[in-house]
Amino acid sequence: MNDFYSGIEYKVQQQHQVELLPDNFEYVLDLFSLQCNEAGNKVNTIKAKKRFIRCFLKDCIDLGCMNIYSLKPSDVAKACLRVENKDGWAIIRAFLKFLSFNGIIEADFSTIVPRYRKPTHLPDTYSEKEIFQIEKVIDRTTNIGKRDYAMLILATRLGIRSGDIVKLSLADLDFKRDQITFIQQKTGERLRLPMLTEVKIALTDYINNARPKVTGDTVFLRQNAPFQEITTSVLRFVTTRYFKMAGIVITDKKHGPHTFRSSLANSMINDDVPYEAVTKILGHTDSDAIKHYAKLDLEKLRECAIEVPKPAGTFKAFLDGGIKA
């Protein structure tokens, strides 16, 4: 109501105001962003890097460093200890190397930054039975249900990323050729997928019977005015809601729309679909993505297992009771 009174366009999600740093810090941060852009980083990747580094530099300022050119090793060490998301250490390390290479600071302080390696784990997946349970609990007699079902079936049957689902346009849907073609938000690459029968029925039902009659081209919209395109947070919210409604156990497991990609990959691998085909269907451009899906192929991994070697030497003597621990 305040936006309407003030003559400002209403936004469902208000943007957080970025707290700018002192000019000398912002100047250097812009230089680093330019280098990232020249290196081929995506816009969202650069935004994420700037967010990490801005928090790091703010901590440096709080510790008494008021000029980027006078940054000291102690500032770096103390600020790194304040970083909660340890993934940010790698970004900070690259930023410090950039400062050193360009002569902005006296030495390369990147070696001070701790190293962190994410613990490896199997991707969270759900069975076909559980996926069908989720789809079944959606009330497709309501407009919201028709929309939610159409969104989720794009994720469960085609493995489309949530960012691509919410950005999907009517022009991307070819009902005559039964194809869906779009530019992936993450990779910038064009992806063409078959419009499966159940996907076509769900999309047709939503577009013809539930989608608000507006002039915009975005497929999925909010059901209440203003009829704006939905966000990925909305898609995550409805996904969690249907997981709970279906009674699926999600304790200690990820349960967002991205898990449908892993579940689809797992299902295809179990059906002996080649890894290269799985990678192509899911729109990956990195060949290393195959290694990620290989973790899911437990039966194939069992074939690669080697026999446990027979004990020998000191270890055998210990087992036989000849050597005390």
Mean pLDDT of 60-80: 93
**pLDDT computed for residue 94 by the predictor:** 95
Residue 325 has pLDDT above 60, yes or no: no
The pTM of the full predicted model, rounded to 2 decimals, is: 0.70
Mean pLDDT of 19-48: 91
**pLDDT computed for residue 31 by the predictor:** 95
Residue 32 has pLDDT above 90, yes or no: yes
**pLDDT computed for residue 300 by the predictor:** 65
Least confident of 99-108, 225-234, 284-293: 284-293
Average pLDDT for the chain:
88
**pLDDT computed for residue 298 by the predictor:** 63
The 3-state secondary structure of the chain, one letter per residue: CHHHHCCCCCCCCCCCCCCCCCHHHHHHHHHHHHHHHHCCCCHHHHHHHHHHHHHHHHHHHHCCCCCHHHCCHHHHHHHHHCCCCCCHHHHHHHHHHHHHHCCCCCCCHHHHCCCCCCCCCCCCCCCHHHHHHHHHCCCCCCHHHHHHHHHHHHHHHHCCCHHHHHHCEHHHEECCCCEEEEECCCCCCEEEEECCHHHHHHHHHHHHHCCCCCCCCECCECCCCCCCECCHHHHHHHHHHHHHHCCCCCCCCCCCCCHHHHHHHHHHHHCCCCHHHHHHHCCCCCCCHHHHHHCCCHHHHHHCCCCCCCCCHHHHHHHCCCCCC
Q: Predicted confidence band at 141 (pLDDT cuts at 50, 70, 90)?
A: very high
**pLDDT computed for residue 323 by the predictor:** 64
Query: HSE-up of 314 (CA within 13 Å, CB side)?
Result: 2
**pLDDT computed for residue 289 by the predictor:** 64
Please name which of 302, 311, 144 lies closest in space to residue 230, comparing C-alpha atoms. 144
Mean pLDDT of 180-188: 90
Q: Predicted confidence band at 8 (pLDDT cuts at 50, 70, 90)?
A: confident
**pLDDT computed for residue 251 by the predictor:** 86
CATH code that applies to domain 128-299: 1.10.443.10
Please name which of 244, 220, 215, 242 lies closest in space to residue 231, comparing C-alpha atoms. 220
CA-angle at 118, arms to 116 and 119, nearest 5°:
125
Indicate if the alpha-carbon torsion angle 102, 105, 108, 109 is positive or negative. negative
| Better-predicted residue by pLDDT, 193 or 187 | 193
**pLDDT computed for residue 281 by the predictor:** 81
Residue 198 has pLDDT above 90, yes or no: yes
Q: Where are the domains of the chain?
A: 19-112, 128-299
Least confident of 172-176, 227-231, 268-272: 268-272
Mean pLDDT of 45-50: 92
Least confident of 188-192, 214-218, 264-268: 264-268
Mean pLDDT of 163-189: 93
Residue 154 has pLDDT above 90, yes or no: yes
Alpha carbon distance, N-terminus to C-terminus of the chain: 75
Mean pLDDT of 88-94: 94
The phi, psi pair for 246, rounded to 5°, reads: -80, -10
